[in-house]
Amino acid sequence: MAGPVERVMAERVAADPVTAALAEVVGVVVREVLTEHLPKLTVTQQEAARMLSVSTKTVGEFVAEGRLHRVGDRPACPITLASVLAAAGWPMTPAPVAAPLVGVPA
């Protein structure tokens, strides 16, 4: 849900075709830059098969058994990297929580 500031900005962008074109280009560029730097959290069925040294049919069986998890219900949906790493035997532990600053000596 857009707030009042977002609504005003959207109205201004819609009112000016030059601003609208710039906003569209900037949005595309920002999405491209962000996706280049984000870690890949999913893999294809073929990538999962290579990572686990099994066939793509076996990957499908692992999904059916619940050993691997898809992001969606269709067979073409990507598989979570975390489930592939867990199936490969990598320890999956949460990241440590940082200590509070008050406990750090000066």
- Taking the domains of the chain in order of start, what are their residue ranges? 4-37, 42-87
* Nearest Cα residue to 46 out of 79, 73, 83, 85: 79
∠ Cα 37 43 47 (to 5°)? 120
Helices (H), 38-79: 45-52, 56-65
Average pLDDT value over all residues in the chain: 80
Q: What is the mean pLDDT of residues 15-32?
A: 76
| pLDDT digit string, tens, across residues 38-61 | 678 889 999 999 999 999 999 999
* pTM greater than 0.75 (yes/no): no
Strand-pairing partners, residue 70, are 79
85/36 Cα distance (integer angstroms):
22
Q: Is residue 105 over pLDDT 60?
A: no
